[in-house]
Amino acid sequence: SLLVIDWLGFNIERLRRGFPGTFSLKTILMLAEQMLTTIEGVHAEGFVYRDIKPDIFAMGLLFLFDMGLSGLYLDPDTGSHMPFRDGRASLGTPSFSSSPFEPHMHT
């Protein structure tokens, strides 16, 4: 299979490394608003995104990509939350995961 999309621009991590110092508070707040809106959109479609990190957000109009570790969190038949399952391997990037990182919390 092949997916062709527009060039999305640089990701936030690449831009962060390219700028000396830090982003301004205004930039951080603008990015945070777009990130949260994007994640809420994914969540509204019934998916939980398991690999949030600066590398997966492209600049410009903010895009979220690399859905490889995402998965449904609502049962498509009942609409109820899928049960948590212990004993599964951790998913995502630990340095950007919830703190403390608890692998058993992922479905």
State the catalytic residues.
Answer: 51
Looking at the DSSP assignment, which residues form a beta bridge with residue 72? 47
**What whole-number distance in Å separates Cα of residue 73 and Cα of residue 39?**
14
Q: What is the DSSP letter of 84?
A: P
Question: Among 53, 52, 107, which residue's Cα sits nearest to residue 81?
Answer: 107
